[in-house]
Amino acid sequence: MSESAIAFDSGRVVVRSEPWLARVVIIGLTMLFLTVFVVLPLVIVFAQALTHGVVAYLAALAEPEALAAIKLTLAVAAISVGLNLVFGLIAAWAIAKFEFPGKTLLITLIDLPFSVSPVISGLVFVLLFGAQGYFGPWLQSHNIQILFAVPGIALATTFVTFPFVSRALIPLMQEQGTLEEEAALSLGASGLQTFFRVTLPNIKWGVLYGVLLCNARAMGEFGAVSVVSGHIRGETNTMPLLVEILYNEYQFVPAFAVASLLALLALITLIAKTILERHLDEGRQVRDH
Amino acid sequence: MTIELTNITKRFGAFAALDGVDLRIADGELLALLGPSGSGKTTLLRIIAGLDWPDGGDVSFDGENALARGAGERQVGFVFQHYALFRHMTVFENVAFGLRVKPRAIRKDEAGIRARVKELLDLVQLDWLADRYPTQLSGGQRQRIALARALATEPRILLLDEPFGALDAKVRKELRRWLRSLHEEINVTSVFVTHDQEDALEVANRVVVMDKGKIEQIGTPGEVYDYPATAFVHGFIGESVVLPVNVTEGRVWIGNQPLNIAAPNVGGPSKLYVRRHDMQVGSESIGLRGAVRHVRSFGAIQRADIAVCAGGNETVIEIDTPRDHALRTGETVELHPRRYRIFAD
Ligand SMILES: Nc1ncnc2c1ncn2[C@@H]1O[C@H](COP(=O)(O)OP(=O)(O)O)[C@@H](O)[C@H]1O
Ligand SMILES: [Mg+2]
């Protein structure tokens, strides 16, 4: 509401008190920086992918190895987003709506995957499930394959992307408090009815926001997945891993073709994120009335 | 329905929010819980509603143990202090909520729900707002929608937390009158919480005055105003003039000046409480006098600050007197209370 007023106001102040040259230089430098470090690489990715034309580009993506990587990436993303959606909702619910000892510790733990290098996250799973790991012998005797297979990749990805959903929801749910839930309960709603009719509709944009970021990271994760994947061609290579392998083999068109898909994902994520943020802001403004 | 609370206690950590509350609420009553902020009113209301659980004591509805039942099973309509309307639902859906979440076997059909919501929106005179969202309503409108939502499921008890709290003076007055007539119309046992004595005295049939988690007095508005049971109630309800006195062998002293008034059943350091309009200025002398410091006149009265000597100290009191006898700044006047109470410290 007051946004335009402020913009107008500061606009006037800037014109009066600062030389226009400073403004041009500062804005120009920002633009230059963004162009060199963000826009240019994106353009190069697409340009490289298309050096031999659209046909070669599509052919590169239709390679069995590329298709397998795309499928694996989608599957892993689906599993880890699904798991993190459930975990994230439960964790955010517990933290925002209940008081219990150890709450601060839990909040800190949720952030752990963000503060640990992904490579270390991957190594933890090797220590747990590898042949020499804690559960390794037991898993081997029961013929269960976790490392160098889809379960390991999904687990590592889930771990690395765990904070996204809960991080998006905790502040939102804390701000909303528990009064609407109490009103619903007092009106005779069951716990599930309260969740689906009151809580979920109030946080749906936050959930989408968390899922979006979680998905982007899940599809793009390299470090942790690289450690647990084993790089079995056509089987345990996700898209980011395949890009690296192809690039190291000087297969530039296929490498950049697969990379372009990841870049496209980033662009779509960015646009969706902007739209969602507007929805979240609107919700917040409505509440401030 | 009758509600009976026996020896209710509730602690938050080491702090006792409710400390042995006993209260019986008769069927069809309109009862006010009155007390300063932090006195435990909301906590008590939430315990009746089943949104909080006492650490000790019993709650029974019509003789049945209510603590065995959850909030949803108590058939209590709760109107929250800040309304807690469902922000993503229209007014219509807010009011319909309690009807929609009923088990299928006893749920009304869509037409039945629509009819009931319409009936309630008519009752609160806001049927024209059915399609709005809560954020598009004024405070008074939200309050009435919250009330309609709470009434939709035909609760046996209606609980309202600071129903007039966030409203401006004019809307507040209207809503008070409206709530009273609504209660006459539907006659459901109702309890409302307020920190404002006018709300309580104007609306309720009976007032429960609370302080620091305890009940200070229960009575009709007239009783708590005219016969306050404790110093707290006297000070909290109505405008009071308070003077420090000492009672020895039935005699009341202010400083070293004896006062010609009786002090039944008290002794030692005490406080003399007089309603501002009960403190008269005149020729009759009981030994209480003071110097006029400041006078302002409006309407039919003049309000004066009068400095009374109490031993070594001076206490400035504010009194209201009729304008026919004009007071002048600086003059010394005789004071005598038409009615008064003395409470031991
Ligand atoms: N959930 C809670 N946790 C800790 N203290 C609380 C909680 N709820 C209420 N209190 C405390 O209990 C006291 C009574 O609160 P409340 O019943 O809300 O008072 P009132 O409604 O009369 O203003 C206050 O001092 C308040 O700080
Ligand atoms: Mg309160």
Residue with CA at minimum distance from ligand 1 atom 4: B12
Phi then psi for residue A230, to 5 deg, are: 85, -5
Among candidates B72, B84, B87 on the partner chain, residue whose Cβ is nearest the Cβ of A189: B72
Give the Cα separation of B314 and B41 in Å (integer).
36
Residue type, position B330, single letter = G
User: In the numeric block, which tokens belong to residue B201?
Assistant: 């005295």
Q: Residue B97: its chain A contacts at CB < 8 A?
A: 184, 187, 189, 197
Give the Cα separation of A44 and A203 in Å (integer).
39
Is the separation of the CB atoms in A230 and A148 below 8 Å? yes
Contact A186 B97 (CB under 8 A): no
> Is residue A179 less than 8 Å (CB to CB) from chain B?
yes
Whether pLDDT at B156 is above 70: yes
Mean pLDDT of A200-209: 92
Is the separation of the CB atoms in A247 and A202 below 8 Å? no
pLDDT given at position A18: 66
- Ligand 1 centre to CA of A98 (Å) is 17
CA distances to A11, A221, A235, A241, B95 from A253, rounded to whole Å, are 47, 21, 21, 16, 61
Give the Cα separation of B12 and A283 in Å (integer).
33
> Is residue A186 less than 8 Å (CB to CB) from chain B?
yes
Q: Which residue of B has its CA nearest to A288?
A: B135
Q: Which atom of ligand 1 is nearest to the CA of B10?
A: 12
Whether pLDDT at A248 is above 90: yes
Residue with CA at minimum distance from ligand 1 atom 3: B12
Q: Residue B101: its chain A contacts at CB < 8 A?
A: 184, 187-190, 193, 197
Contact B84 A182 (CB under 8 A): yes
Question: Would you call A4 helix, strand, or coil by DSSP?
Answer: helix
Among candidates A183, A188, A193 on the partner chain, residue whose Cβ is nearest the Cβ of B84: A183
Question: DSSP letter at A24?
Answer: H
CA distances to B69, B216, B295, B326, B327 from B301, rounded to whole Å, are 55, 32, 10, 10, 11
- CB-ligand 1 contact for B43 (6 Å cutoff): yes
Residue with CA at minimum distance from ligand 1 atom 27: B38
Q: How far is CA A222 from the centre of its chain?
A: 13
Q: Residue A188: its chain B contacts at CB < 8 A?
A: 72-73, 98, 101-102, 153
Is the separation of the CB atoms in B212 and B39 below 8 Å? yes
Whether pLDDT at A214 is above 80: yes
Please name the residue that has the structure tokens 């209660």.
B183
Residue of B42, B90, B101, B107 for testing the chain A interface, max A β-carbons within 10 Å: B101
Contact A190 B51 (CB under 8 A): no
Is the separation of the CB atoms in B99 and B117 below 8 Å? yes
B281 band by pLDDT with thresholds 50, 70 and 90: confident
Is the separation of the CB atoms in A144 and A135 below 8 Å? no
Whether pLDDT at A283 is above 80: no
Is the separation of the CB atoms in B236 and B36 below 8 Å? yes
A289 band by pLDDT with thresholds 50, 70 and 90: very low
Of B200, B165, B195, B197, give the one whose Cα is nearest residue B180: B200
pLDDT given at position A1: 40
- CB-ligand 1 contact for B12 (6 Å cutoff): yes
Phi then psi for residue B283, to 5 deg, are: -80, -30
Give the Cα separation of B179 and B203 in Å (integer).
8
Element (H, E) at B180: helix B169-186
Give the burial string for A263-272 (b: 16+ CB within 10 Å, else e).
Answer: bebeeebeeb
Contacts of B44-47 spanning 24+ positions with Cβ under 8 A? B44/B5, B44/B8, B44/B18, B44/B193, B44/B210, B45/B78, B45/B159, B45/B161, B45/B191, B45/B193, B47/B5, B47/B8, B47/B10, B47/B18
3-state secondary structure labels for all residues of A64-116: HHHHHHHHHHHHHHHHHHHHHHHHHHHHHHHHHHCCCCCHHHHHHHHCHHHHC
B6-34 tens-digit pLDDT: 999 999 989 999 999 999 999 999 999 99
- CB-ligand 1 contact for B240 (6 Å cutoff): no
Q: Which atom of ligand 1 is nearest to the CA of B43?
A: 17
Q: What is the mean pLDDT of chain A?
A: 87
Q: What is the dihedral of CA A238, A240, A241, A244, to 10 degrees?
A: 150
Phi then psi for residue A195, to 5 deg, are: -65, -50
Name residues whose C-beta falls within 8 Å of residue B152's C-beta, 6 or more positions apart in sequence: A187, B95, B96, B97, B98, B99, B116, B117, B120
Ligand nearest to the CA of B210: 1
CA distances to A36, A50, A262, B113, B208 from A44, rounded to whole Å, are 11, 10, 13, 61, 77
- CB-ligand 1 contact for B98 (6 Å cutoff): no
Give the burial string for A48-73 (b: 16+ CB within 10 Å, else e).
Answer: bbeeeeeeebeebbebebbebbbebb
Contact A182 B76 (CB under 8 A): no
Mean pLDDT of A111-118: 91
Looking at chain B from residue 145 to 164, which residues have their Cβ under 8 Å from any Cβ of chain A? 149-150, 152-153
Contact A183 B78 (CB under 8 A): yes
Give the Cα separation of B184 and B337 in Å (integer).
39
Residue B342 half-sphere exposure, CB side, CA atoms within 13 Å? 23
Question: DSSP letter at B109?
Answer: P
Is the separation of the CB atoms in B85 and B146 below 8 Å? yes
A8 band by pLDDT with thresholds 50, 70 and 90: very low
Of A182-186, B84-88, B293-297, the one with minimum mean pLDDT is B293-297
Contact A198 B71 (CB under 8 A): no
Among candidates B78, B87, B98 on the partner chain, residue whose Cβ is nearest the Cβ of A202: B87
pLDDT given at position A6: 43
pLDDT given at position B286: 84
Name residues whose C-beta falls within 8 Å of residue A91's C-beta, 6 or more positions apart in sequence: A106, A110, A166, A170
Mean pLDDT of A232-238: 89
Mean pLDDT of A58-64: 91
pLDDT given at position B135: 93
Mean pLDDT of A273-278: 88
- CB-ligand 1 contact for B42 (6 Å cutoff): yes
Q: How far is CA B93 from the centre of its chain?
A: 32
B306-327 tens-digit pLDDT: 998 876 778 888 888 888 788 8
pLDDT given at position A3: 41
pLDDT given at position B225: 92
Q: Which residue of A has its CA nearest to B51?
A: A182
pLDDT given at position A17: 63
A7 band by pLDDT with thresholds 50, 70 and 90: very low
Is the separation of the CB atoms in B84 and B143 below 8 Å? no
Looking at chain B from residue 50 to 89, which residues have their Cβ under 8 Å from any Cβ of chain A? 50-51, 70-73, 76-78, 80, 82, 84-88
Whether pLDDT at A9 is above 60: no
> Is residue B104 less than 8 Å (CB to CB) from chain A?
no
How far is the alpha carbon of A287 from chain B, nearest alpha carbon, in Å? 7
Whether pLDDT at B174 is above 90: no
Helices (H), B187-306: 197-203, 221-226, 231-236
B67-107 tens-digit pLDDT: 999 999 999 999 999 999 999 999 999 999 999 999 999 99
pLDDT given at position A284: 64
Whether pLDDT at A121 is above 70: yes
Of B104, B52, B41, give the one whose Cα is nearest residue B76: B52
Which ipTM score applies to this complex? 0.86
How far is the alpha carbon of B273 from chain A, nearest alpha carbon, in Å? 41
Residue type, position B268, single letter = G
Residue with CA at minimum distance from ligand 1 atom 25: B38
Mean pLDDT of B164-187: 87
Of B274, B287, B289, B277, give the one whose Cα is nearest residue B334: B289
- CB-ligand 1 contact for B213 (6 Å cutoff): no
